[in-house]
Structure 1
Amino acid sequence: MSLTPELLLHGYSIGIFPMAEHRDDPELFWVDPKFRGVFPLDGFHISRSLTRRIRKSSYSISINRDFAGVVDGCADRADTWINAELRHLYQQLHLSGQAHSLEVWEEDVLVGGVYGVSLGAAFFGESMFSRRKDASKIALAYLVDRLRQTGFRLFDTQFLTAHLASLGAIEIPRTQYRHALEEAINASADFEAAVSQSPDAVIQRITQTS
C-alpha cells in the first residue's frame, strides 16, 4: 500500500500502525496487536545506577534538533522495519509538527535518541537507539518526563519488550488501549513546550511519581 501522512495519522487515531518486513521491502502492512505496550507516565522505573548516570554523564539533551539523524540511528541495525517510505512519511510528519525526536549528544556527536508521532495528547513511540552505554535509557527518562510535563496522557510503545518492561512499561488489552487512545487524542498537549531539562529537575520529578 502507498501511504500519505494523513492516512498514517488516521491509522494511529484508530489504534493501528504500519511496518515493513525489512528495510528493503517496499510493502507496508498495518499492525493491530491484541495486547499493546504502553508506558504509564507516572511509572518510569529509574534505578540508582541510571540516576547516577544521568547526574554524572556529560551528555546533553535536545528535542527536534536532528529528527532525521534519530530515525537513521534507529534504522541502523541488522533487522529494521523502517523502510524508505516510512522514513519519508515520518519526515513529512515532523515537518508538519506531528512527529518529534529527543536526542542525546556527547559534545556534538549524536549518541542516542527516540522518536515518535503525536496526536492530541497521545504520543506513539516508534523507535530508539543507543551508541553509548545507557543512552537509550536516558532518552526514555527525559522523554517520559517531557510527556508528563507537557500534557500528554498516553505513551504508546506498540509492543512490550523486556528492556521497556524493566523501565516500567506494561501491556494492556486492545479494548483498554483503544479506550485510552480515544480519550488522549481528544485532549491537547504541546511536545515543544518549555520544560527544564536539568538532570536534577528531571530526576526529582521522575522519582516523585515512580
Structure 2
Amino acid sequence: MIPQLNKYELKFPDASQANTDGILAWGGDLTPSRLIRAYQNGIFPWFSSGDPIIWWSPDPRLIMELDDFKISKSLKKSMKKFEYKFDTNFEEVMHKCSTVNRNDQAGTWISSEIIEAFTTIHGMGMAHSIESYQNGELVGGLYGIVVGKVFCGESMFANMSDASKSAYAVLIKHLKEWGYDFIDCQVPTNHLKSLGAKEVSREYFLDRLLKTNMETVSHTWEINKELI
C-alpha cells in the first residue's frame, strides 16, 4: 500500500521506503513548506494534471557531477549564439517547459498548480531559472530548486537548436564557480545521460544529499560573462 499524506502535517515517509517504481506517497498539497521539505529529503512531485499528487524517490537516481558535463565543440560554438540571464523570466520558462513533448519523459505534468507553487518558491529565492535569448527573444532555458549545495533540475525547453543545452552549460559553469556539489536530475533520461549524467543508487544519493543540506552557498544569481 502506498501511504497517503496527511494534508495537515508536513511529515513524509523516509525516502528509502519508496516502492520498486520509485513511488513514496500520494496526496497532501503543494504548499512551499511541503515542497521545500520534500526536496530537502530527496523527494519530488510528479503527476499528471487531474490526478492525485504523487511523490517520488526513484532508485536508481540520475545526477550530474559538475565536472562530468560534456561540452562538445559544436556546443561551444552554439553557446556564442545566445545571451544568458538568471531569473528574469522564471514563470515563462515554466510555461514553455510545460508544452514540451518528450519521448522518454512527459512534460504535461507541469500543471498550473505546479507553476503557481514553484513561482512562489522562486519569489522566496529558492527556485531559479537560467534563460537563453536571441535578439531579445526567450528561446531556451531550464529551472530548478536549490537545496543546500545541490541544484535540483526540474525541466528544460528549447525553441532553437542547443538553446537549452547552452543554458545548461552556462548554469554548470556558474554552479562550479559558486561551490555547488552536483545537479539532481531525478529520473534517468537518455538526453541527460548523453551530456554526462550518471545513475547512482538511491542510498548513495540520499546520503550525499543530506550531507550537502548541512552546507549553504552564498552568492548572487548574476551572469558572469567570463564564464561563458
Q: Which residue of 1 aligns with 2:200?
A: 172
SS in 2 for 1:100: strand
Gaps of 5+ in 1: 203-210
Unpaired runs of at least 5, structure 2: 1-26
Q: Does 1:73 align with 2:100?
A: no
Q: Cα distance, 1:13 vs. partner?
A: 1.1
Q: CA deviation at 1:193?
A: 4.6
Matched, 1:133 2:161: yes
Return the offset for 1:191: 5.8
Aligned to 2:36: 9
Aligned-partner SS, 1:76? coil
What is the CA–CA distance in structure 2 between the aligned matches of 1:194 and 1:103, rounded to whole Å? 12
TM-score, scaled to structure 1: 0.88
Q: TM-score, normalised by structure 2?
A: 0.81
Aligned to 2:178: 150
User: Contact 1:17–1:31 at 8 Å: present in 2 too?
Assistant: yes
Q: Do the aligned partners of 1:112 and 1:128 also contact (CA within 8 Å) in 2? A: yes
Structure 1 match to 2:130:
102
Contact between 2:31 and 2:117, CA under 8 Å: does it hold in 1? yes
Relative to structure 2, which stretch is displaced further, 95-104 or 158-167? 158-167
Who wins on radius of gyration, i.e. which is larger?
2
Q: Percent identical across equivalent pairs?
A: 34
Residue aligned with 1:102, SS? strand
Deviating 4+ runs (over 6 angstroms): none
1:1-210 residue pairs with structure 2 within 5 A? 1=27, 2-21=29-48, 24-55=49-80, 57=81, 59-78=82-101, 79=106, 80-190=108-218, 192-194=220-222, 196-198=224-226, 201-202=227-228
| Contact 1:39-1:169 at 8 Å conserved across structures | yes
Q: CA offset at residue 77 of structure 1?
A: 2.9
Q: Deviations over 1:150-191 (max 9, x none)?
A: 121121010121111111111100000011101111111146
Provide, for residues 42-101 of structure 1, a one-character-per-residue CA deviation record: whole Å limited to 9, x for no partner.
Answer: 11101111112223x1x1000000000110110013542111211111001000000000
Count, aligned residues? 196
Query: Structure 1 10/42 Cα, relative in aligned 2: closer, same or farther at 3 Å?
Result: same
Moved more, 113-122 or 75-84: 75-84
- Range with bigger deviation, 166-175 or 75-84: 75-84
- Give the Cα–Cα distance (whole angstroms) in 2 for the partners of residues 71 and 193 of structure 1: 18
Match of 1:205?
Answer: none
Which deviates the most, 111-120 or 77-86? 77-86
Structure number with greater CO (CA < 8 Å, separation at least 6) is 1
Q: Give the secondary-structure state (helix, strand or coil) at the position aligned to 1:110.
A: strand
CA–CA distance in 2 between the matches of 1:67 and 1:7?
Answer: 21
Q: Provide the secondary structure at the position in 2 that maps to 1:20.
A: coil
Q: Is the 8 A contact 1:114 1:136 kept in 2?
A: yes
